[in-house]
Structure 1
Amino acid sequence: MITGNNLDQQQLEYILNKLLENKSVVLDINKPITDSVFTRSFTTLFYAAIVEYDSTKQIISKDLVRKVIDATHEYMGKELDFRGYVEKKGWAHAAAHGADLLDSIVKHPIASENDAVKILHHIARFLSIAHGYQDDEEERLARAFVTLTKYHLNEEFIVSWLKHLEQSLADKYATSNNELQPYYAQLAFKNFLKSSYFLLEKEAIQNDIKETIKDLVVQIIY
């Protein structure tokens, strides 16, 4: 309905205002591993679809889009339920849906360089606290990352961010005392890097970033 131009400005703004008013994206966020994750996760998909649509149409109030972006930053800094498919209930997929929302925000004209930096922090957080993604979450995060490289921040900044994240995860793994979580975080980062590399290769963009990613993957493997 959204992408097919079946909703007008008033209807789209009504949806966003209702979701913001109900704080749906942070419903019970301090109570992880409950069914509330479905409300949070699918609220992000509503946000993603509408923000993506408005990135070219620009019919929604800029103040309202800003509220959505700010609500997204709050959500991405707090979500702890990273289940993918939940047996007998369906897709929770908060990490993947959150990544889709980040991808949409990056494309919107009112997104700032500060928003882009925050998005990198969100991606780093979702990778750093991974407990074993199994439903392609890393690729969805990679798509948001590659989109970000087209719109915001220079290659030097992003290369530095990648190297810092790799070092942080490597240090955490080296002092993990055989705990599994740091292993899963490093695995998630490696999968994220691989997906990012081939997405960049496909679009023939950002050679410095791509070469840095290749070096980091080789470093992690060996």
Structure 2
Amino acid sequence: QAPQQQQQQAPQQQQQQAPQQQQYQAQAAQQQAQQAQAAQQPQAAGADEGVGAERQIAVSGCNHATVGGIVRGSFTLSTENHGKPAYKKDTQVNGLDVMLYFWDERDGPNFCGWWFGPKIGGDQVWAYHPSRTAKTAPTTGWKVPYDGPVDASFVISKASPPQQAQPAQQQAAAQQQAAQQGYGSLQLNNYARQQQGGQQPPQPPQQQQQPPQQQQHQQQQQH
């Protein structure tokens, strides 16, 4: 009877295990599907997170005391690197260019992504974004420094020339007015100095000429 019971129990265990395995397989399939969706979502987000094919962009935020002062400002499209646009800051910092560029996986996956540095592909870097799918510079999600945490305040946005042009024009007009006023005051000062200089030099000769005239009058009176 014992062997028969074992034989009977074995099919029962197999029957019990079969649904459990199916459940596990179903759960594993669901997990894989969820992981695949999760993997696709960042890629989709990465494709959409770029600032866009803009000629001029602006970097704002960045709480890092040193890096913030380096990366903040206006950038202009400079070239293309590894198939994606690269930007150069409009002003240098401590004599160094500030470049924003993409680097592919040719040096390994850890080097793939978007970088801020003084030179494209250089050893020195200030900030990093791991996105491989963004076609243009990612707007958020930057790590500062490159191996540090994500700085949520670090934002790349489209530059708005019309809004920036008005203050720039006003500043330029104010500078021109100030320059004209300054130039005018210099002209007046120079003119005044010339006038004073023109009046003062003749005075000494007149004073010098007076004594001889007085001497001549005195001589005539004596004669």
Q: TM-score, structure 1 length as denominator?
A: 0.19
Q: Which is strand-richer, 1 or 2? A: 2
Q: Which is helix-richer, 1 or 2? A: 1
Please say which structure displays the higher CA radius of gyration: 2
Q: TM-score, structure 2 length as denominator?
A: 0.19
